[in-house]
Structure 1
Amino acid sequence: MLSSLLQTWKTRNEILSVAVSPDGGRAAAACSDSIIIWDVHTGQQILGPLKGHTLPITSVTFSPDGSIFASSSKDGTIRVWDSETGQPRAEPLRDHTKSVESVTFSGDGRLLISSSLDGTIRFSDPLTGHQAAEPLVVFWPTYVAIVSRDGAKLAYSYRGADVILFDLDTRNLLFQYLGHEDTVNHIAFSPDDSLIASASDDMTIRIWDTETGEAIGKPLKGHKSKIRSIAFSPDGKYMASGSDDKTVRVWDVKTGTMKGDPFTGHILWIYAVAFAPDVMENCGFNKDRSSPKIVSKSSFLGNWNASSEVNSIAGSPDGVRVVAACLNFILVWDTHTGQQTLGPLKRHTLPITSVAFSPDGSVIASGGKDRIVCIWDSKTGNLRTSPLEEHTDSVTSVAFTPNGSLLISSSVDRTIRFYNPYTGRSVGDRIATGMHHVSSVAVSPDGARLAGGCSDWTIKLYDLVTRTQIFQYEGHVGCVNQVVFSPNGQFIVSASDDCSARVWDSAAGYVLCAPLGGNEDYWVRSVAFSANSKYIALGSYDGGVRVCEARTGAMQGIPFSGHTGWVNAVGFTPDGRLVSGSMDKNLTVRDLSQLAKQETTDVPFHVLAKPMAAAPAVGFPQPHILPPPLPPRDAFNVKTHKSTSMPVQ
Structure 2
Amino acid sequence: MKVGFNFSNLLGTVYCSGNLVFTPDGNSLLSPVGNKVTCFDLVNNKSFTFGFEHRKNIARIALSPQGTLLLSVDEDGRAILTNFVRRTVLHHFNFKSVVHDLQFSPDGTNFAVAAGRKTEVWRTPSYNEEREFAPFIKHREYTGHYDSVNSITWSGDSRFFLTTSKDLTARVWSLNPTEGFVPTALSSHKDSVVGAWFSKDQEKIYTCSRDGTLCEWQYTTKPGQESEEEDAEEKRIERWYVVHRNYFLQNNAKVKCAAFHKELNLLVVGFSTGVFGLYELPEFNMIHTLSISQNGIDFVTINASGEWLAFGASKLGQLLVWEWQSESYVIKQQGHYDAMNTLAYSSDGQRIVTAADDGRIKVWDATSGFCIVTFTEHTSGVTAIQFSVRNLLFSASLDGSVRAWDLIRYRNFKTFTAPSRLQFSCLAVDGSGEIVCAGSLDSFDIHLWNVQTGQLLERLSGHEGPISSLSFAPDGSSLVSGSWDRTVRVWSIFTRTQTSEPLPQQADVLAVIHRPDSKQLTASTLDGQLTFWEIETAEQLGHVDGKKDISGGRKVSDRRTAASNPATKHFTTIAYSADGTCVLAAGNSKYICLYDVATGSLVKKFTVSVNLSLDGTQEFLNSKNLTEAGPMELIDDQGEASDLEDRIDRTLPGATRGDMSSRKVRPEIRVTGLSFSPTGRSFAAATTEGLMIYSLDNTLMFDPFDLDVDITPATTLHALNVEKDYLKALVMAFRLNEKYLIHQVYESIPADDVPLVVGGLPRVYLSRLLRFVTGFIEEGPHMEFGLVWVEAIFESHGRWVKENRAEVEAEMRRVIRALKKVQNEVAALGDENGYTLDYLLSQPATQKKRQELDEGFLVAS
Task: Return the TM-score normalized by structure 2.
Answer: 0.47
- Cα displacement (A) at 1:168: 8.5
What residue number does 1:341 align with? Answer: 413
Q: How far apart, in 1, do the equivalents of 2:589 and 2:140 lie? A: 58
1:187 Cα deviation after fit: 3.7
Structure 1 residue 530 and structure 2 residue 676: aligned? yes
User: Deviation digits for residues 271-304 of structure 1, max 9, x if unmatched?
Assistant: xxxxxxxxxxxxxxxxxxxxxxxxx984585352
Q: 1:138 to 1:386 in 2, by over 3 A?
A: closer
Structure-2 change in CA distance of 1:167 and 1:439 (3 Å): same
1:245-324, aligned counterparts within 5 Å?
250=319, 260-261=334-335, 298-299=370-371, 301-317=373-389, 319-324=391-396
Q: In the aligned structure 1, how far is the partner of 2:447 from the partner of 2:369?
A: 41
1:393 and 1:16, CA in 2 relative to 1: closer, same or farther beyond 3 A?
closer
Aligned partner of 2:162 among 101, 114, 124: 114
1:26-72 CA distance string (max 9 Å, x none) = 32458999997432243334589799xx99987653455x5544436
**Residue ranges of structure 2 left out of the alignment (5+ in a row):** 1-11, 15-32, 37-48, 222-240, 340-367, 548-565, 610-614, 617-666, 697-798, 804-861
Conservation of the 8 A alpha-carbon contact between 1:71 and 1:79: yes
- Take 1:122 and 1:523, find their aligned partners in 2: how far apart are those partners? 44
1:349-396 alpha-carbon deviations (Å, 9 max, x no partner): 64434221222334323344544444434344345x544445565444
SS of equivalent to 1:138: strand
Structure 1 contact 453–460 (Cα < 8 Å) conserved: yes
What amino acid sits opposite 1:534 in the alignment? S
SS of the counterpart of 1:71?
strand
Give the counterpart letter for 1:530 in structure 2.
F
- 1:123-522 alignment runs, 5 A limit: 130=178, 138-139=186-187, 144-147=195-198, 154-157=205-208, 162-166=213-217, 173-177=243-247, 187-189=258-260, 193=264, 195-197=266-268, 207=277, 209-210=279-280, 211-212=283-284, 214=286, 216=289, 222=295, 230-232=300-302, 235-240=307-312, 250=319, 260-261=334-335, 298-299=370-371, 301-317=373-389, 319-335=391-407, 338-346=410-418, 350-368=422-440, 370-383=443-456, 385-389=457-461, 391=463, 394-412=466-484, 414-422=486-494, 425-426=497-498, 430-433=501-504, 436=507, 438-476=509-547, 477=566, 480-496=571-587, 502-513=593-604, 517=608, 520=616
Separation (CA, whole Å) in 2 of partners of 1:8 and 1:340: 37
Q: Distance in 1 between matches of 2:489 and 2:100?
A: 66
Say whether 1:547 aligns with 2:598: no
CA shift digits 1:74-98 (9 cap, x unpaired):
777867758654799xx97899977
Distance between the aligned counterparts of 1:176 and 1:26, measured in 2?
38
8 Å CA contact 1:230, 1:241 repeated in 2 = no
Deviates more, 1:215-224 or 1:324-333: 215-224
- Indicate the SS of the match to 2:379: coil
Q: 39, 50, 62: which one pairs with 1:7?
A: 50
Deviates more, 1:26-35 or 1:147-156: 26-35
Deviation at 1:328, TM superposition (A): 3.6
| Alpha-carbon shift at residue 468 of structure 1 (Å) | 0.9
Change (3 A) 1:334 1:264: closer
Q: 1:68 to 1:366 in 2, by over 3 A?
A: same
- Equivalent residues of 2:378, 2:399 under 8 A apart: no
- Percent identity between matched residues is 16
Change in CA separation of 1:218 and 1:437 when aligned onto 2, cut-off 3 Å: closer
Determine the C-alpha separation between the residues in 2 that align with 1:415 and 1:15.
45
- Kept in 2, the 8 Å contact 1:58–1:71? The answer is no
CA 86–207 in structure 1, closer or farther in 2 if over 3 Å, else same: farther
Deviations 1:145-178 (A, max 9, x none): 2235687863224699743245799997344336
The runs of 5 or more residues in structure 1 that have no matched partner are: 266-295, 552-606, 612-649
- 1:305 alignment partner, SS class: coil
Larger Rg: 2
Change (3 A) 1:487 1:78: closer
TM-aligned CA deviation for residue 123 of structure 1: 8.1
2:336, 2:269 → 1: CA distance?
A: 19
2:560 match: none
SS of structure 2 residue aligned to 1:404? coil
Any idea what the Cα deviations from partners look like across 1:542-561, whole Å, max 9, x if unmatched? Answer: x775637499xxxxxxxxxx
1:189-227 deviation per Cα after TM superposition (whole angstroms, max 9, x unaligned): 258746434579x89886452343559457977469xx6
1: CA distance, partners of 2:99 / 2:506: 64
Query: 1:104 aligns to what?
Result: 153
Describe the shift of the 1:259–1:207 C-alpha distance in structure 2 as closer, same or farther (beyond 3 A): farther
Task: Answer whether contact 1:348 1:370 (CA < 8 A) is retained.
Answer: no
Give the AA of the match of 1:466.
Answer: T
Letter in 2 for 1:529: S
Task: Assess, with a 3 A threshold, how the Cα gap between structure 1 residues 513 and 233 changes in structure 2: closer, same or farther.
Answer: farther
* Cα separation, 1, equivalents of 2:161 and 2:381: 54
Q: Shift of the alpha carbon at 1:524?
A: 5.4
Q: Greater helix share, 1 or 2?
A: 2
Secondary structure class of the residue paired with 2:415 = strand
Q: Which residue of 2 aligns with 1:27?
A: 70
| 8 A contact 1:501–1:515 mirrored in 2 | yes
Q: Secondary structure at the match of 1:430?
A: strand
Alignment check: 8 A CA contact 1:148 1:189 kept: no
In structure 2, what is the Cα distance between the partners aligned to 1:347 and 1:264? 29
Distance 1:84 1:48, change over 3 A: farther
Listed one character per residue, the Cα deviations across residues 386-435 of structure 1 (whole Å, up to 9, x for unaligned) are: 444455654443222222222333445555444455456436x7133156
Deviation digits for residues 501-521 of structure 1, max 9, x if unmatched?
Answer: 543222222234457538638
Q: 1:56 to 1:302 in 2, by over 3 A?
A: closer
Change in CA separation of 1:143 and 1:460 when aligned onto 2, cut-off 3 Å: closer
Change (3 A) 1:199 1:386: closer
- When residues 424 and 529 of structure 1 are mapped into structure 2, their CA distance, relative to the original with a 3 A threshold, is farther
Judge conservation of contact 1:144–1:185 (CA < 8 Å) in 2: no
Residue 162 of structure 2 aligns to which amino acid in structure 1? Answer: S
Q: Kindly provide the amino acid, as one letter, of the partner of residue 530 in structure 2.
A: I
In 2: Cα distance, 1:129 partner to 1:297 partner: 48
Per-residue CA deviations over 1:211-267 (Å, capped at 9, x if unaligned) read 43559457977469xx6x64345643422368xx9x9764566799995248999xx
Q: Report the structure, 1 or 2, having the larger strand content.
A: 1
Residues 98 and 452 from structure 1, CA distance in 2 versus in 1: closer, same or farther, beyond 3 angstroms? closer
Deviation of 1:451 (Å): 1.0
Checking the alignment, whether the CA contact within 8 Å between 1:330 and 1:346 is kept in structure 2 is: no
What is the total number of aligned residue pairs between the two structures?
A: 506
* Counterpart residue identity of residue 451, structure 2: S
Q: 1:299 to 1:150 in 2, by over 3 A?
A: farther
